[in-house]
Amino acid sequence: MPELPEVEVCRRQLTQWAAGRTLDAVHLVDRAVVRGELTSKPSAALADGGAQLEALVGQIAGEPLRHGKRLGWPFGGGRALLAHLGMTGHWVRRGAGDDPPPQHRLGLAFGDRTVWYVDGRRFGCVVPVEASAMPALLRADCGPDALDEPLDGPALADRVRSRKPVKVALMEQQRLAGLGNIHAAEACWRAHIAPGRRADALSPEEWGALAQAIVAQLRFAIEAEAAGGDDGIVYVNLGGPNPFSVYGRGGEPCPACGTAIAADEMGGRTTYWCPTCQPA
DNA sequence: GCGCATGTTAACTT
DNA sequence: GAAGTTAACATGCG
């Protein structure tokens, strides 16, 4: 599930659940979630991953940082974890004696509660690193954070301009860190820009509208998702009605004008837009 | 069984 | 070099 808003909600929950507390024990259920670098391949498991995590026991957890879709979580003793949620990763909290949630991969025990990393599809991972290196690794190969380092129209144009469709370029983390398939499409809808427009064909006004739309979309999503339960993430896109304006709504009426939402493949991902509000 | 899925990356083609 | 396509990773769901 995770794009920037989902990762930010995880960051806030980990802060609330663990920051300032001593890590009492580690339950490494699936060794493959500990990797030597941020990668979606479980086959890249770290050989001594268990020992690397055990080295954190007895240390005090700090407050996690976020850049784009990544987390960087400092611990005492000069250690830290980088984390990526992949496609299905999330963190939940349970009582120490409770059954862990299904598909639990890693548990971190703090007092009478355990924080579980859950990831059905196993594209997500944690990476043990030195705390001093963590901030740089956190943003390596990434553009500015789409929420915390917002760009104005001209700066956004400089970073995102390319011959690719604008929605595809918006998803490239080297240009701008944090947008994925859902929120890139939603931001384009908010800005009245067709996702298939070439990212070198937007006017200055359109770049300005897109810059504002990105921040508005991310703030909206974080606010909606932060309303989730205390013991686990409730993503806006899990269960319940679809909260998005165009994503996943092919054929349904546009919430603004009633035109049927269009769906097509773009850069290998299904893309949704309103042909009236977002004219080609 | 089939197609699809919110992420990332490598390999190959145009 | 830029951009598009496909596959791979592993799993669940409708």
pLDDT at position A86 over 70:
yes
Q: Which nucleotides of C are covered by protein (CB under 7 A)?
A: 2-12
A2 touches strand B (CB under 7 A): yes
Please tell me which residue in A161, A243, A269, A275 is annotated as part of the active site: A269
Q: Are A111 and A24 in contact (CB under 8 A)?
A: yes
Query: What's the pLDDT score for residue A133?
Result: 95
Distance CA A135, CA A60 (A): 18
Report residue A115's pLDDT band, with 50, 70 and 90 as the boundaries.
very high
Q: Which nucleotides of B are covered by protein (CB under 7 A)?
A: 4-9
Q: Is A9 exposed, middle or buried (0-12, 13-18, 19+ CB in 10 A)?
A: buried
Residue A269 annotated to the active site: yes
Query: What's the pLDDT score for residue A234?
Result: 47
Q: pLDDT tens for residues A133-147?
A: 999 999 999 999 999
pLDDT at position A69 over 50:
yes
Report residue A267's pLDDT band, with 50, 70 and 90 as the boundaries.
confident
Mean pLDDT computed over A20-46: 92
- Answer whether 0.75 is exceeded by the pTM: yes
Q: Nearest residue to B4, CA vs C1'?
A: A270
Residue A128 annotated to the active site: no
Residue A159 annotated to the active site: no
Please tell me which residue in A11, A35, A69, A122 is annotated as part of the active site: A69
Distance CA A189, CA A192 (A): 5
pLDDT at position A90 over 60:
yes
Q: DSSP label at A128?
A: E
Distance CA A208, CA A224 (A): 25
Q: DSSP label at A102?
A: T
A39 touches strand B (CB under 7 A): yes
Give the residue among A106, A102, A103 at the shortest CA–CA distance from A50.
A106
Q: pLDDT tens for residues A254-263?
A: 999 999 999 9
Beta strand pairing call for A70-75 and A89-95? unpaired
- Range in A43-47, A71-75, A116-120 the model is least confident about: A43-47
pLDDT at position A78 over 60:
yes
